[in-house]
Every structure is written in C-alpha cells, then in structure tokens.
Amino acid sequence: MPDIHPRANGERVLADLNALRALGSYKTGVHKPTFSEPHKQSLDWLVRKLPEAGLTGAIDGIGNIVGTSTKLGPKLLAGSHLESQNYAGWLDGPLGVVYAIEAARVLNTDSSMKGAVEVAAWCDEEGHFGNFLGSRSYVGQVTEAEIDAARDRTSGRAMRDALTDMGLAGRARITAEPGRHVGYLEAHIEQGDTLESGKLAIGVVTSIVGIWQYRITFTGEQNHAGTTRMAVRKDAGLALAKFCVAIDERFPAACGPRTVWTTGRITLDPGAPSIIPGGAEMLFQIRDDDPAVIARLEELLRTMAVEASAKGPCTVKVEKIRTGAPAMMNAGIQDAIEGASKVLAGGRSIRMPSGAGHDAQMLATIMPAGMLFVPSIGGISHHWTENTADVDIVTGAQVFVDACRRILCSSAM
C-alpha cells in the first residue's frame, strides 16, 4: 500500500537544527546557558518560525514559548528545550523542538487533518536556575517566591535580573489550559547507548525514572593518625568505604533489571592527612521506575545501617533527602510511536525507560505524555561531542511526525 500520509522534510529538519547550532556554537556543540545571548537568539528564532506552522506565540514571563493554533479539532502539545548545559551538545533539547515545529508545519497546514500540533520550548530544563522551572511553571508548580530566590548556578546572577535583561520582567507566565491538549509528545536524544548497541532507530519511552537521594552519615572518633593504635580506632572514613562496598555486594539481589545507584559525593571530617576522620558523609542516589523496587532497596539500606552500627566501631545513619516519583508514559502514545516506527523505521524500535529527567515528566502530571528517543553516537551527552547520525535524525523526524498524526487522528474519532 503506498504511503499517502504527509511526511517530514528531512532536509528542512537538519537545516533548522544547524541554524540553532550556529547560535552560541562551541567546537561541534554549543554553549547556550539559560538566558544567555545565544539562548535569547534561539527563542527569537522559534517565535519567527511559528507562523510557518500556522502558530502564534511569544516568550512568556519565565522564558517559555507555547505556539498555539486556531484550527478546530484536537490539539497535541509537542516540544522540548532550547538552552544547553555549559559547553555541551547541539541536540539535547533542540531536536525535540525542531521535530515539534516540523510536525506542526506538516500536519497543521494539511487540510485533510483534523486538529493541530502546538509547539512548546520549556525554559531551563537544564537547571541553570532551578529544577524544570519552565515546564513546572506551565503546570502551575512555580511560585513568584521561587523565582525571586533563583540564581544562576554558574555565575550567581539573580533570575529576576536575567529576566529583566531579557526584556521579560513583568510579563505574564503561560499556564496550561485544562482540557486543551489531548497529550504531550517530546523527542530527545537517548543520551545512552541502548539504541546504538542494539542497531535500533527509535526508543519508545515507557517511563521516566524517579530519583531518590540519601545522606548517609558515619560517626566515629577523631584522633591522631600516628599515635592511635589500629585496634582502637573508630575511623568513620573506613566505615564509609566498607559500606559502599557492601551496597555493591547486596543491592544486586534486591534491585530491578535497570536499577542504577551512585555514590556521587564523599566527604571526610575533618579531611586532613594526619587525622583519623571522626565523621564521614556520602550522598547516595538510586534511580528506578518502580516505586516497589526503591522501597525494597531503601529498606535494605536502612537494615545495613542498623547492622553496621551494631557491629561498630562507628554508627551509621541514613536520611532520605529527595524523593522523585517516576512518571509513567501513556500507553496509547507509546502505541502510536511504535506503529509509526513499524512503517517508517522498519520496526527498529524498543520500549525502554528514560534514566534521565525530562520536561515530559512535568507535563505527565497534568495530561497523557509520551517520549521518543533517537540514538546517541557512543551514548555520549552533556558534552560538546554529543551527536546523532543525520540518517537517524531524519528517521526520527519521520516517526515523530507520523506518531503526532496517529495521536491526532485517534483523538478526532
């Protein structure tokens, strides 16, 4: 059967991505922190592009753009972010925005299509000033006080000052209109090597993992590193090291198939070469998309702390400092992406969770949400060498546009 559906224009997608790469370019990547000049230029670029897709929109009071359509019928929201990490890759963010504008150009201008794709660029997904400020603002979770307090983590610049410099001070913030959208779809580079190693083209995201973080503190006795006999030491640093090893030995029996855990920071008190540490602290993180797995691992962590304290010579305390619920992606949207992959990517797709956080997890709190991944060469991201083969970028765009079409068509019935 001939493919009669409207298709993405691969050359136009690549041209748009390269136009965005030219704004704030750094080696083969970009340096485009939130509210920097190249970020502002990228936002202005998107506002100028919106009319090509029959959309109108402007930058709102927190730096978000939501281009809206007056077309009748169901509306699908699609997008991602335009700022980057410092000195990082060109596709993390812009890929999802360009796919969204391409879907809108192809589908909104097709008179046989009911409904429209609306395009969003969420500000500060990369967390220069906070934690998903743009998408959280849209879903109604950001207070003015939070903006008052926000500062650039690199320069210390106040967010209020940055908004003033951008000409956005006093501008209203756009918030979601209940019932307006049938769902939200976001494309992103995988930032891992699952697709590349499996020779696959498309990742159909099933969930975005939750992140749980713990502070584990060890209390011993500070003393002289030369005169204190080994037998009587209470070395908190050594207790921490043993605990780290024990986690790696005991977690595998209790974890899920894709659980990951990390000790991201260790501090010794006082941290001097000639002093036995009297205190030690580790920041420990667990990621999984199944709260039951996390609950099991947390229970194990606490049991291990009790056991270690009982055995001595140091005491161990576990304190939970962050809980992030996983976000489940909508089943119908997953089916739409998979169906499009069968036709346009030879079925080279896999259902997989996202180990990284994305704006879609915020949108998922108020509407059905889904995500599509394309391969990352070498699994590299958050680095200027981040890249995806042109052929994979184009295949991803084809699948994305067709997935949008399928979602709108099933909603219009």
Site of interaction with Zn ion (CB under 5 A): 92-93
Write down the least CB distance from residue 174 to Zn ion, Å: 20
Q: Smallest distance, Å, CB 119 to Zn ion? A: 16
How far is it, in rounded angstroms, from Cα 309 to Cα 95?
A: 50
Give the residue from 184, 181, 66 showing the smallest Cα distance to 115.
181
Strand partners, 374: 189
DSSP assignment, residue 142? -
Which C-beta is closer to Zn ion: that of 99 or that of 243? 99
SS3 8: coil
Beta carbon nearer to Zn ion, 71 or 188:
188
* Choice between 83 and 281, CB closer to Zn ion: 83
Which distant-in-sequence residues (6+ apart) come within 8 Å of 120 by Cβ? 64, 65, 66, 67, 77, 78, 79, 100, 138
Which residue's CB comes closest to Zn ion?
A: 92
81 vs 405 by CB, closer to Zn ion:
81
Residue 166 dihedral angles phi and psi, to the nearest 5°: -80, -10
CB of 191 to Zn ion, least distance (A): 8
Q: Are 219 and 277 in contact (CB under 8 A)?
A: no
CA angle 179/184/189 to nearest 5° reads 170
Cβ 350 to Zn ion, closest distance in Å? 20
Q: How far is the CB of 45 from Zn ion (least distance, A)?
A: 18
Quote the least distance from Cβ 123 to Zn ion, whole Å: 12
Cβ closer to Zn ion: 125 or 338? 125
Neighbours of 275 (CB within 10 A): 15
CB of 360 to Zn ion, least distance (A): 10
Say how many C-beta atoms besides its own lie within 10 A of residue 377's C-beta: 15
Cβ proximity to Zn ion: between 93 and 237 the closer is: 93
Tokens 């696959």: give the residue: 200
DSSP 200-244: -SEEEEEEE-EEEEEEEEEE---EETTTS-GGG---HHHHHHHHH
Pick the closer one to Zn ion by CB: 90 or 218. 90
